[in-house]
Amino acid sequence: MNLKDTIRTIPDFPKKGIMFRDVTTLMTSRRGFAESIIQLSAPFQDIMLDNIVGIEARGFVFGAAVAYELGAGFVPIRKKGKLPFDTYEEAYDLEYGHDVLEMHADAVRRGEKILVVDDLLATGGTAVAAIKILQKAGAKVVAAAFVVELPELGGRKRLEGMGIEVQSLVEFDGQ
């Protein structure tokens, strides 16, 4: 199955010149969604991961399913102000502005092996912020896995520059 064919492209969203890659169409495809989880999980089957970390919001969907597939726990990293307990936080820049991510301070333990999962890797800003939060908590980020990658925006290079292995299922040219 070609997963790329299940992802809808919406021109000029959220602003002119951007080609938005909409993974909700992949998620509504029974075969496509199941295949994406199998492919995201496959490289990590032989690693005893402690937790899968999903980044808000679509990373929750893919990350929780990968956690189930790999027999690991699931940890959400959320936008600021959504978590009710003590948190680690990290500010980051987006393609269209800036934001802050948070994780409960007790969500992972020092030395735990973590896989970060999200739907899209563009500039890498969101993933870098999530990884920095996990490093503050003392966790070891083994890799980061994405459904879609936009290679021209350089996110892979940023993550690999931090020593993080990167996996992605499909690539699209442009923004």
Catalytic residues: 58, 95
Report the C-alpha gap between 70 and 169 in whole angstroms.
Answer: 17
Q: How many CB atoms lie under 10 A from the CB of residue 172?
A: 16
Give the chain's end-to-end CA distance (angstroms, integer).
24
Residues whose CB falls within 8 Å of the CB of residue 29, separated by 6 or more in sequence, listed in order: 6
Alpha helix positions (H), the chain: 24-27, 30-41, 58-70, 125-136, 155-161
